[in-house]
C-alpha cells in the first residue's frame, strides 16, 4: 500500500512539473504583447518598456522559464493584467466559490445517481429501469447552458421560487455585511451566524448546483448500472443467489462495493471537468467563481491569469486523483497491487 501511494505521488509530481512547463509555453504562444496588455491601451512607450523589464520579457526564453518556475515554487503566479492584483489573490477569491458550486453538484450527483441506479438494477427490465435510463441519457446529453436558461425561465422568472443570478442578495451587503474567512458565502455565514445571508446563499445555490449536477448524475447512474450489471453476473453473486440470498442482499453485500470502484475513479475526472467547464453555468447565473474569472482572462488575453487558472485546475485534478487512488485502495485492496 505504501509503495503504491509513493509511486502515485511521484507520478503526480511529474504531471505537475509538466503542467508548469506547459503553462509557460502557452503564455508565450498567446498572440499579443503581455506588457501592452498590462500597461493598458493608452500606455506610453516608456511605460511599456518599464513593464517589459519588470516582467523579464526582455530576457531570453530560458531565463524567463527559470524565473517563472522559481516564482511558481514560491507561490507567485504573477500579476493579473486586468485586475492588477496577484493571480493568487484572485484565485483565493474565485476558487472557493467554484469549489462550493462544483462540490454541491457532485454531492447531488452521487446522492441521486447511485441510489437511482441501484433501484433500477433491482428492477431490471421494468418501467423503473427504463425511466432511470432515459433520465440518465437526457442528463448527459442536454447542454448545460440550455438547462441553465430553462431553469431560470421556469423556476426563477415564472414561478419565482429561486433567484435568477448571483451568490446572494446584494442588498444584504449593506443591511447584513458578511465577513469573509473562506470566501464561501455559506460557510462564512455559518461561521459568523449571518442567517439572512445564509438563507439567501442557499437559495442562490440551488439552481446552478442542480444544473451543473445534471451531467455527473447521468454519468454516475450509467457507470453504476454497468458496474452493477457486471458484478451481479459474477460467479460469487450467482452462488449467493443459488444459496437463497434475496436479490437486494446480493446487491448490497456482494455487488455494490466492487461496483463503486470505477464510479469513484471517474468522479475525479468529472470533478475536474466541471471545474474547468463551469464558466458556462457561472456566466449564466452570475456566479463569481473560477469559470467566470477564466472567461474574463481569456477575453482580455490576461496570460498570467490564464496560466494561473490552468495550473490551479491541474493541481486540483492531480490531488483528486490521488484521493481517488487512496479510496480505491481501501475499497478494493487489489488496486494497490497493480
**178 located within any domain:** yes
**309 located within any domain:** no
- As beta bridge partners, residue 26 has none
Question: How many CA atoms lie within 13 Å of 183's alpha carbon, on the beta-carbon side?
Answer: 15
Torsion of CA 302, 14, 89, 178, to 10 degrees: 120
Instruction: Quote the CA–CA distance of 241 and 213 in Å, as a whole number.
Output: 35
Instruction: Report the mean per-residue pLDDT for the chain.
Output: 76
**320 located within any domain:** no
Q: Is 169 left (phi over 0), alpha (psi -120 to 50) or beta?
A: beta
Residue length of the chain: 338
Per the CB < 8 A criterion, the answer to whether 302 and 3 are in contact is no
For 302, residues 6+ apart whose C-beta sits below 8 A from its C-beta are 37, 80, 81, 82, 296
Q: What share of the chain is helix, strand, coil (3-state, %, to 5)?
A: 80, 0, 20
**194 located within any domain:** yes
Its pTM stands at 0.73
- CATH number of the domain that 212 lies in? 1.10.3720.10
Check residue 68 and give its pLDDT.
78
Residue 254 has a CB neighbour count (10 Å cut-off) of 20
Dihedral sign of CA atoms 272, 276, 277, 282 in order? positive
pLDDT score of 164 more than 70: yes
**75 located within any domain:** no
CA angle 42, 45, 51 (to 5 degrees): 90
**104 located within any domain:** yes
pLDDT score of 236 more than 60: no
pLDDT score of 335 more than 60: no
**292 located within any domain:** yes
**12 located within any domain:** no
DSSP 8-class letter at 336? G
| Residue-wise pLDDT tens digits, 73-122 | 888 887 787 788 888 888 888 888 888 888 888 888 888 777 766 666 66
Instruction: Quote the CA–CA distance of 98 and 65 in Å, as a whole number.
Output: 30
Quote the number of domains for the chain.
Answer: 1
Domain with 187, as residue range(s), is: 97-300
Check residue 254 and give its pLDDT.
54
pLDDT score of 203 more than 70: yes
Instruction: Quote the CA–CA distance of 62 and 60 in Å, as a whole number.
Output: 6
Query: Could you give the percent of the chain with pLDDT greater than 90?
Result: 0
Q: Where are the alpha helices (DSSP H) in 123-194?
A: 127-141, 144-151, 172-175, 185-192
Instruction: Quote the CA–CA distance of 90 and 293 in Å, as a whole number.
Output: 8
| Residue-wise pLDDT tens digits, 113-146 | 777 666 666 666 667 667 767 777 777 777 777 8
Mean of pLDDT values over 236-243: 59
Cβ-count burial 299-316 (b if 16+ within 10 Å, e if not): eebbbbbbbbbbbbbbeb
For 11, the grid coordinates are 507520478
pLDDT score of 233 more than 80: no
Amino acid at each position: 500500500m505504501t509503495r503504491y501511494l509513493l509511486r502515485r505521488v511521484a507520478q503526480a509530481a511529474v504531471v505537475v512539473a509538466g503542467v508548469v512547463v506547459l503553462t509557460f509555453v502557452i503564455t508565450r504562444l498567446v498572440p499579443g504583447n503581455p506588457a501592452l496588455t498590462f500597461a493598458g491601451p493608452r500606455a506610453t512607450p516608456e511605460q511599456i518598456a518599464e513593464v517589459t523589464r519588470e516582467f523579464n520579457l526582455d530576457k531570453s526564453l530560458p531565463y524567463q522559464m527559470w524565473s517563472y518556475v522559481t516564482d511558481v515554487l514560491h507561490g507567485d503566479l504573477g500579476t493579473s493584467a486586468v485586475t492588477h492584483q496577484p493571480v493568487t489573490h484572485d484565485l483565493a477569491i474565485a476558487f472557493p466559490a467554484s469549489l462550493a458550486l462544483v462540490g454541491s453538484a457532485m454531492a447531488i450527483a452521487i446522492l441521486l445517481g447511485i441510489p437511482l441506479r441501484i433501484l433500477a438494477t433491482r428492477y431490471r427490465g421494468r418501467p423503473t429501469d427504463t425511466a432511470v435510463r432515459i433520465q440518465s441519457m437526457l442528463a448527459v446529453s442536454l447542454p448545460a447552458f440550455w438547462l441553465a436558461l430553462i431553469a431560470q425561465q421556469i423556476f426563477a422568472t415564472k414561478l419565482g421560487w429561486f433567484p435568477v443570478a448571483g451568490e446572494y442578495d446584494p442588498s444584504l451587503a449593506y443591511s447584513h455585511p458578511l465577513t469573509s474567512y473562506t470566501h464561501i458565502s455559506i460557510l462564512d455565514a455559518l461561521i459568523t451566524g449571518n442567517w439572512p445571508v445564509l438563507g439567501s446563499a442557499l437559495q442562490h445555490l440551488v439552481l446552478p448546483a442542480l444544473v451543473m449536477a445534471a451531467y455527473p448524475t447521468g454519468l454516475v447512474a450509467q457507470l453504476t448500472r454497468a458496474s452493477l450489471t457486471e458484478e451481479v453476473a459474477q460467479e460469487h453473486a450467482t452462488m449467493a443467489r443459488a444459496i437463497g440470498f434475496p436479490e437486494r442482499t446480493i446487491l448490497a453485500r456482494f455487488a455494490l462495493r466492487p461496483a463503486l470502484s470505477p464510479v469513484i475513479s471517474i468522479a475525479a475526472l468529472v470533478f475536474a471537468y466541471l471545474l474547468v467547464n463551469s464558466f458556462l453555468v457561472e456566466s449564466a447565473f452570475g456566479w463569481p467563481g473560477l469559470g467566470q474569472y477564466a472567461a474574463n482572462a481569456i477575453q482580455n488575453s490576461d496570460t498570467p491569469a490564464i496560466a494561473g487558472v490552468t495550473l490551479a485546475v491541474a493541481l486540483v485534478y492531480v490531488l483528486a486523483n490521488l484521493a481517488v487512488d487512496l479510496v480505491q485502495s481501501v475499497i478494493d485492496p487489489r488496486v494497490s497491487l497493480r
